[in-house]
């Protein structure tokens, strides 16, 4: 018992002498840690003669509780004192305005991509994702461009270390994937995604850019459906006042083929440079799906017809927002990005 009284006295005196949090924590470990003296005193109960055990146990528990309470009270006091000392030595200016957290936003090309998707979704088109790394067969051969075909020169690309595996130059190989998956059902899809070309970077051309492919296959699909769909799309996206021009063109995978232009505002000082003096900027290639391509997709050209188009949403974004240089899209210049 006298041991317990001595322990209480010593622990209380040492606690009273603790001046800061570190000293208090060390005190706590000394008495209440795994090898602490107070715990040892409690564990000693087993060795106490039976007749003294009850009194010893009660006393030990009382001391334990008293020391724990005293410790917690002292710890709170010390913390409080440290806090008020730090507040007076480093006064806090509560009137200082907070630092604004910069808010991100969608890239302008993503915004326009979503608008394009929404317009086609309203017309009943589904969105289909197709791969960016393609085989030469999908990107060229099945689209009616055998290895010797001169049209391949227009679409020089990046090659991988695996022979015949390339980065796609356009979203058109997606046409073959959809057709083979859907045959013999009718199709009405768009395929948005990234394309790659090994060509000179200019104000209008990048080596990595987006395209949105469109494909419609059915039993009585005609060129009139193609023109109607494109016209409705352009009116929705650009407004009624912009002019659209269809030009005849050539693509190996469509017959007949066309290209679609949009007029560029004449009062824009960059108009001449961007439109090469024509006043028109090309936004897409299109045409009626070539019978060879229909067959490669599994459809019988005697029964099915279809149209396809491939547009460049970045060029469309340039038109919508009068952006004069396509390189701005990858420039990551916040002064540009924050405008949209
Ligand atoms: C094609 O890529 C054809 N696959 C389009 C097509 C699809 C025709 C289906 C018929 C049927 P073209 O190379 O013209 O065509 O590219 C289509 C559009 O992609 C262009 O009108 C342009 O808007 C955009 N584009 C092409 N090259 C670049 C480039 N280097 N940088 C940015 N946009 C580009």
Q: For ligand 1, which residues put their CB under 6 angstroms from it?
A: 170, 172, 197, 199, 205-206, 209, 211, 213, 251, 254, 282-287, 308-312, 314-315, 326
Among 149, 211, 259, 323, which residue has the most ligand 1 atoms within 8 Å of its CB, making it the best to mutate?
A: 211
pLDDT bin (cut points 50, 70, 90) of residue 2 is: low
Element (H, E) at 160: none
pLDDT tens per residue, range 271-280 = 787 788 888 8
**Angle (deg, nearest 10), helices 21-32 and 50-89:** 170
Residue nearest (by alpha carbon) to ligand 1 atom 26? 312
pTM: 0.72
pLDDT score for 92:
77
**Burial level of 45, CB count in 10 A (0-12/13-18/19+)?**
middle
Best residue among 310, 316, 317, 327 to mutate for probing ligand 1's pocket (most ligand atoms within 8 Å of CB) is: 310
Q: Does residue 307 have a pLDDT over 70?
A: yes
Q: For tokens 């393609």, name the residue.
A: 134
| Element at 32 (helix H, strand E) | helix 21-32
Percentage of the chain beyond pLDDT 70 is: 99
Instruction: List the beta bridge partners of residue 195.
Output: 209
**How far is C-alpha 273 from the chain's CA centre?**
34
Using one digit for the tens of pLDDT, what is the confidence trace for 70-111?
A: 999 999 999 999 888 888 888 778 888 889 998 889 999 999
Tokens (6 digits) for 109: 């090309």
């Amino acid at each position: 018992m006298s041991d317990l009284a001595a322990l209480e006295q010593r622990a209380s005196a040492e606690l009273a002498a603790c001046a800061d949090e570190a000293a208090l924590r060390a005190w706590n470990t000394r008495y209440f840690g795994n090898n602490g003296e107070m715990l040892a005193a409690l564990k000693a109960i087993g060795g106490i003669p039976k007749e003294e055990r009850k009194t010893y146990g009660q006393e030990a528990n009382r001391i334990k509780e008293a020391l724990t309470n005293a410790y917690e009270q002292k710890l709170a006091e010390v913390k409080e004192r440290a806090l008020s000392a730090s507040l007076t030595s480093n006064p806090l200016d509560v009137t200082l305005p907070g630092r604004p957290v910069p808010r991100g936003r969608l890239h302008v090309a993503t915004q326009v991509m979503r608008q394009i998707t929404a317009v086609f979704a309203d017309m009943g088109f589904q969105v289909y994702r197709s791969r960016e790394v393609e085989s030469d067969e999908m990107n060229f051969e099945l689209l009616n461009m055998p290895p010797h075909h001169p049209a391949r020169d227009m679409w020089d690309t990046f090659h991988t270390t695996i022979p015949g595996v390339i980065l796609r130059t356009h979203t058109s190989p997606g046409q073959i994937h959809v057709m083979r998956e859907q045959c013999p059902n009718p199709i009405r899809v768009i395929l948005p995604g990234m394309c790659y070309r090994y060509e000179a970077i200019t104000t209008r051309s990048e080596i990595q850019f987006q395209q949105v492919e469109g494909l419609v296959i059915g039993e009585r699909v005609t060129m009139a459906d193609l023109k109607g769909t494109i016209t409705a799309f352009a009116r929705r996206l650009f407004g009624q006042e912009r002019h659209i021009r269809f030009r005849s063109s050539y693509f190996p995978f469509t017959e007949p083929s066309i290209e679609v232009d949009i007029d560029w505002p004449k009062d824009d000082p960059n108009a001449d440079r961007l439109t090469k003096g024509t006043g028109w900027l090309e936004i897409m290639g299109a045409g009626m799906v070539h019978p060879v391509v229909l067959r490669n997709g599994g459809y019988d050209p005697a029964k099915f017809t279809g149209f396809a188009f491939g547009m460049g949403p970045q060029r469309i974004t340039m038109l919508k927002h009068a952006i004069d240089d396509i390189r701005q899209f990858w420039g990551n210049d916040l002064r540009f990005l924050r405008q949209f």
